[in-house]
């Protein structure tokens, strides 16, 4: 069941959902608007000839902090950004992150495949920003970039995200973080 604005406000007031800092008028009928932070991970395509998912690729991106200045996302470009807000979920709620319709109509995608947020999550959400338009898109720190909706699970998760048994790679992240998919190939 997707939470309504009333239930979202109740969960926020009870501290079960945390969105910090909360934007003014951010609660929508069935979601909460999230804003863009000022840090981006830009791909340094000249460092590698191929993306090998078995390899640590932390050197593939470079952190660019724009402060209050705009960031220009060029046609066909893919960068990682993050939400300004830290999001914390209880063990019985999951969330879906989606783009804003008006931005989608300009050719901006905010996630490739990672729009799902597990129960127990705590951290800023990394955005997979793509420009599928034919013109550059100007992104401004603090602008509304997406919306998050919440779904109540049938029961609380026995092993929520962040638990050692799950092997959560991104719990507690601040700012955009590069892929750690390569860790799936490590032998223990």
Give the residue numbers annotated as catalytic, written as ranges. Answer: 128
Alpha-helical (H) ranges within the chain are 5-13, 101-104
Non-local CB neighbours of 34 within 8 Å, separated by 6+ positions: 19, 23, 26, 83, 84, 85, 87, 97, 125, 144, 145, 146, 147, 148
> Which has the closest alpha carbon to 105: 133, 83, 129, 79?
133
Bond before 21 cis per omega within 30 degrees: yes
């Amino acid at each position: 069941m997707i939470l309504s604005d009333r239930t979202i406000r109740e969960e926020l007031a009870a501290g079960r959902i945390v969105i910090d800092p909360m934007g003014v008028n951010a609660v929508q009928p069935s979601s909460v608007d999230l804003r863009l932070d000022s840090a981006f991970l830009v791909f340094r395509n000249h460092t590698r000839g191929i993306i090998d998912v078995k390899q640590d690729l932390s050197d593939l991106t470079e952190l660019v902090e724009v402060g209050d200045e705009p960031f220009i996302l060029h046609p066909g470009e893919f960068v990682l950004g993050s939400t300004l807000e830290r999001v914390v979920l209880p063990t019985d709620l999951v969330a879906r992150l989606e783009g804003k319709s008006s931005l989608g109509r300009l050719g901006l995608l905010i996630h490739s495949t990672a729009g799902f947020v597990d129960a127990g999550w705590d951290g800023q959400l990394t955005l997979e920003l793509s420009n599928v338009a034919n013109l550059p898109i100007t992104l401004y720190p603090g602008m509304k970039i997406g919306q998050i909706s919440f779904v109540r699970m049938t029961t609380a998760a026995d092993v929520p995200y962040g638990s050692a048994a799950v092997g959560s790679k991104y719990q507690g992240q601040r700012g955009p973080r590069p892929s750690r998919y390569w860790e799936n190939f490590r032998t223990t």
